[in-house]
Structure 1
Amino acid sequence: MQRTYDRLSPAQRVGQLLMIGLDANSPASADDRQIAQQHVGNVIYLGGWTGAPRLRSTSNHLQSQATSSATGKVPLLIAADQEGGSVQQLKGAGFSPLVSALQQGRMSAAQRTAYGKRIGTQLRAVGVNLNLAPVADTVPPSMTRSNAPIGQYAREYGHDPSTVAESVSDIVRGLHSGGVGATVKHFPGLGRITGNTDVTTAGTTDTRTTSTDSYLKPFSAGIKAGVGAVMMSSARYAKIDPTEQATFSHKIISGVLRQQLGWHGVVITDDMNAVAVQGIPAGQRAVRFIAAGGDIVLTGRAADAAPMVRALTAQAASDKKFAGKLWASTKRVLALKQRLGMLC
């Protein structure tokens, strides 16, 4: 990994910290410019993609753009949201219809692990190497209908942290045995809010979760099971950090997640094009996340890559401490790619 890092230019190192969206209605070449000019190192499939042949062809095209001048020949992380139920972005030929996480939570451990392996195997076959699942959020029984981001879609594995923790561990192990990385989300949990950060800022402050909360148990279980990445929530957590959203919070990312839970791997944002963060200029979203201890900035809006890269580069040039964090993040991303067998 260090040799790969050493041969990358500063611009290519910054590009490893970006993941941009490729919509199902767009041509395979839609992100080519960002990969070439901004050195973007990662892509996520968004929207309803149908059929393994098209996805396999698109993944092959994307990886062909990871040239010496673009990414230093470092392959792309290609991600998808393949949870189950209402959140299954890849469907049709080559993909099994998936039951909801709530239904997966009722399976036996062996069945659930096999289910995760099947998902991983199908993703791997079309060139997806990182699944942005499983959901580690616990929704209290009293909030299954009022919890807009998770409960209303049955995205939770259960209604108590222990049940969710067992399911998360099984799915993580299953996905990895199928050949893809897993991502637990949305730290430190979206189960106790009513608003969906994708579409609103209302009802997105959690007034209950603490830094020693039992609801953190599923995230810890995912880490112990060998997860590839941890995705941050864009909600606020009044009892942990009343001043910052989790995705911009040093207390939550560097403190609770890294120091307290012992996570030293990749931390990724939820969509930085979401309504919950749109009041912040795109470049500053990236800078504030990296400064807080994060690594990969995910944005569904590919055009945001340019201002994000400019802001990260400018901040690193003027702030040595920030530059140190930036390069540490690049090394964590490369370490994940090495772990997934992507680096020579």
Structure 2
Amino acid sequence: MQLDLETEVLCGQLIVGGFDGAEPPARYLRALAEGRRGGAILFRRNVPDMVATARLCEALAAAAGPDRPPFIGIDQEGGRVTRLRAPFLTLPPMRSLGELMDLPLLRRAARAVASELGAVGVNLNFAPVLDVDSNPANPIIGDRAFGRDPGTVTRAAVAFLEGLQEEGVLACGKHFPGHGDTALDSHLALPTIAHGRDRLDEIELPPFRAASRAGVASLMTAHIVVEALDPGVPATLSRTICTDLLRDEIGFEGVLFSDDLEMAAIAAHYPVEEAATAAIWAGCDALLICKDEDLQDRAHEALVRRAERDPRFRDRCAEAAARCLRQRRLRPPRPVASPEALAGIVGGPASRAVLEDIERAHAALAAGAAT
């Protein structure tokens, strides 16, 4: 894709930010309109109800315009990571779905989630989790993972991501190259994985390889240090991990998101200007900065400054922006305008049927275990 964008707009396409409140701030809408943002990530603070969510997404899409439709993303995994509450479909934790290993049901569940997300204008779900929950002491993954072995995670996650994308919502597998065997929460500290490459190839990497082969639209990095791959360097900032391993070896062709650059694993060690430019140079295509609009502006300014003085960095920004825009133009946000039509989709018959079938499958599983 050939891009003829001013440097400020080119770099702006790489930043996906968050903000407070259910009404988009004028400052944020202006940044979208001027091309200094490539989209938004929504949290529970932004989505108090179905109608307000659709109205918010409509405002974001209108500000960005039809030529640069935004990413509008949310974490709607199920279980404890569920931003949209009832009447939206609230799936149980991924672990309980992985225990069923009913792949057609998993695909249906993902399609039902995607149908609801698309109806309110969300075009990107930061799911599924591709991490293997191999460490019982892990404080952040746990039952968010489909299972404790790579085979279960791989089969379940691929079914889920395919279901999302069949229904028109971009999937984002996380957290590359695998956050399952850490004992620290990267929101609070920088975890390290000390396993050798053979173990990574056996446990951590298979779900990411399978997701890439299945055409997952995007992946998200982990703010972890993997000593066997790039000693001392967080994966988000590692060209060895994001480019050499993920692009060149695994063959991933989608959009690579950084995890939130405001998390302490990165923010406690790197100013946002350094983190933003390092993440893009490493191979990330979109930077999540999930709350602070001042930090978003600082990251944007740092990208522009480096792109203006370094042609190779500008080329990397152009490559990243092209990937982002390709996905955004394929699936622009299209919220349903009518509250009555929304009510027929959100918590509608398809969602209720999925929940009933999940409950029946769990009851059958429990009955079989009891005999």
Choose which of 111, 123, 138 in structure 1 pairs with 2:117: 123
- What does the per-residue CA deviation read over 1:209-258, in whole Å, with 9 as the maximum and x for residues that have no partner? 52634321111111122211010001110111113100000110011111
User: What SS does the corresponding residue of 1:243 show, helix, strand or coil?
Assistant: coil
The answer to whether 1:298 aligns with 2:285 is: no
Displacement of 1:37 in angstroms is: 5.2
User: What SS does the corresponding residue of 1:212 show, helix, strand or coil?
Assistant: helix
Question: C-alpha distance in 1, partners of 2:80/2:329?
Answer: 32
Moved more, 159-168 or 213-222: 213-222
| Gap regions ≥5 residues in structure 2 | 335-371
The answer to whether 1:276 aligns with 2:265 is: yes
Match of residue 311 from structure 1: 302
Match of residue 331 from structure 2: 340
Question: 1:38–1:306: 8 Å Cα contact kept in structure 2?
Answer: no
Cα RMSD between the aligned structures?
1.8
Match of residue 25 from structure 2: 29
Question: C-alpha distance in 2, partners of 1:159/1:101?
Answer: 12
Question: C-alpha distance in 2, partners of 1:37/1:172?
Answer: 32
The answer to whether 1:138 aligns with 2:132 is: yes
Question: 1:172–1:226: 8 Å Cα contact kept in structure 2?
Answer: no
Question: 2:68–2:329: 8 Å Cα contact kept in structure 1?
Answer: no
User: What SS does the corresponding residue of 2:205 show, helix, strand or coil?
Assistant: helix
Percent identity between matched residues is 30
| Gap regions ≥5 residues in structure 1 | none
Question: 2:111–2:166: 8 Å Cα contact kept in structure 1?
Answer: yes
Moved more, 302-311 or 34-43: 34-43
Question: C-alpha distance in 2, partners of 1:316/1:9?
Answer: 11
Match of residue 71 from structure 2: 77
Structure index of larger Rg: 2
The answer to whether 1:158 aligns with 2:147 is: yes
Match of residue 54 from structure 1: 52
Question: C-alpha distance in 1, partners of 2:22/2:270?
Answer: 27
Question: 1:12–1:39: 8 Å Cα contact kept in structure 2?
Answer: yes
Which structure would you say has the larger RCO, counting Cα contacts within 8 Å and 6 or more residues apart? 2
Aligned ranges 1:218-233 → 2 under 5 Å:
218-233=207-222
The answer to whether 1:214 aligns with 2:203 is: yes
Match of residue 89 from structure 2: 96
Question: C-alpha distance in 1, partners of 2:41/2:148?
Answer: 29
How many residues in Structure 1 have an aligned counterpart in Structure 2? Answer: 327
Change (3 A) 1:105 1:297: same
Choose which of 13, 16, 19 in structure 2 pairs with 1:16: 13
Amino acid at match of 1:104: L
Question: 2:7–2:308: 8 Å Cα contact kept in structure 1?
Answer: no
Structure whose residues are more often strand by fraction: 1
User: What SS does the corresponding residue of 1:106 show, helix, strand or coil?
Assistant: helix
Moved more, 40-49 or 227-236: 40-49
Question: C-alpha distance in 2, partners of 1:305/1:186?
Answer: 22
Give me the TM-score of the superposition, normalised by structure 1. 0.90
Amino acid at match of 1:86: R
